[in-house]
Structure 1
Amino acid sequence: MVFELTPTDFLLITIVVALVAVAQFFKGRKINLILMNYTASKFEEILKPKDKIYQWLGLYVGYKAVFKIGNKTLDRVEVTLTLIPRQSLLYYPIALLTSRFDRVFLVYCFKRKFYREAHLVRKCY
């Protein structure tokens, strides 16, 4: 028994894949927007910045933020959030293999100068 793919079958498969891709786009977009909103509100709640600047990275990829704190030791905190592309059905499996998870980078800018560099890095990273 040989399976033959007629043009009608090919069209039906293409339509189903397109519908799944559209559904994945809206679902992944919603998840990424919720994550961006949640992290931004938590950073603002914890840091209590006097001034804040946000810059979008792509449309649903993440953001860069600069929170100006203005207390006696900490001048500002720079945050970079990069999310995996949950909205892309075709690229999502590749992103899971390459980047594997969402990332948050924090850079603390102190008013006092350090004599050398200081780094805090999680051991498994």
Structure 2
Amino acid sequence: MISLFRRAPEAGPAPAAAPFPFPYEGPEQLQGPLAAALSRVVDPEVSMSIVDVGLVYGVTVDAARVHVRLTMTSAACPVIELIMDEAEAELDTVVPPELQIRLELVWEPPWSPDRMSPGAKRFMGW
């Protein structure tokens, strides 16, 4: 006799969640939309998202604002204004209207290729 039912495999430990691409502090329901918005911002010099390049140093959300700390690969980056403007525009699509958006350009710690996502490192041949 052939059984049509299979025994379910023993449940093992749940796979570890992938680490979030940058430090985040705030309501859980905004974490994904904010990360997605920032992932849509492309650094035109390398044709990759600012999240993959490692330019987002952190996001903090409180009762009044969304504070995003960004850096650039170099202080001489010719597209700083473009990236900042696009980041603000993308965030504006997901941030609740009662919250202010504050982008802060920081230089410490200095950016390094170690901040890049594994996919970005592969793309760059590192």
TM-score when normalising by structure 2? 0.30
TM-score when normalising by structure 1? 0.30
Greater per-residue strand proportion: 1
Greater per-residue helix proportion: 1
**Structure with the greater alpha carbon radius of gyration:** 1
Give the structure, 1 or 2, with the largest relative contact order (CA under 8 Å, sep 6 or more).
2
